[in-house]
Chain A
Amino acid sequence: GQNIDQPTEMTATEGAIVQINCTYQTSGFNGLFWYQQHAGEAPTFLSYNVLDGLEEKGRFSSFLSRSKGYSYLLLKELQMKDSASYLCAVRAYTGGFKTIFGAGTRLFVKA
């Protein structure tokens, strides 16, 4: 089966940098997504990694190491509006392509 682990909660200060880790165990790995979800709202796409390395998109970057089953999301220059849950999702081929979501990391940004 598949297993995805993320920290439950993190707190960081406005203007700082925070790294949210995600570890996964799966066969047939075919890509990893990060989504942002504000309270009471739908998830929205942030980043996608399928090869090892770093993908940068403005203040957000995502890293993947397939051999270690590890990814992180890096948020720079934190803003209050970054307070949200961050969901790691793994796509894998298990007789068909499925995307399984982790439980999410709730990030609190304080002034």
Chain B
Amino acid sequence: NAGVTQTPKFRILKIGQSMTLQCTQDMNHNYMYWYRQDPGMGLKLIYYSVGAGITDKGEVPNGYNVSRSTTEDFPLRLELAAPSQTSVYFCASSYSFQQGDQPQHFGDGTRLSIL
């Protein structure tokens, strides 16, 4: 039972490069999320998706893009990497419905450094 799988686990980028962080889940969850976590800080929501074809901005969306073409996959794209985007990125998924919420399941994270 894989849960939420993120790739890569580590990456170093140069300023101005682009890359895609991959996230896939096998739990048939409708909601998926991308967070960033800076050292000693909490999780900041970048983007989230309530289902295939639907995405919305979180607290800190600038510099990122997402897409949700399938229920399973929710990639995060950095177009022009900047040093401020050095962080640990977590993807999560949950089954959410209007009357309640199940907890989020997190991937192991991607540690991204931009130099």
Contacts and interface: CB of A to CB of B under 8 A. Distances in A.
Q: Is the interface of B mostly helix, strand, loop or mixed?
A: strand
Contact of B100 (A31, A98, A101, A106): A31
B31 to A, nearest CB: 8
B26 interface: no
Interface stretch (A12-20, A42-50, A66-74): A42-50
A101 B42 contact: yes
A42 B89 CA distance: 10
B108 A42 contact: yes
Given A31-B101, A43-B106, A50-B100, A102 B48 contact: no
B103 interface: yes
A27 B103 CA distance: 20
Contacts of B78: none
Contacts of B59: 100
B101 A103 contact: no
Interface residues on A, range: 20 to 34
Interface in B50-77: 50, 56, 58-59
Nearest to A104: B42
Interface residues on B, range: 20 to 34
B2 interface: no
Contacts of A87: 42-43
Contact of A97 (B40, B43, B96, B108): B96
A97 B101 contact: yes
Contacts of B34: none
Nearest to B6: A42
Contacts of B105: 45
A110 to B, nearest CB: 20
A74 B19 CA distance: 41
Interface of B: 33, 35, 40-45, 48, 50, 56, 58-59, 90, 96, 98, 100-101, 103-109
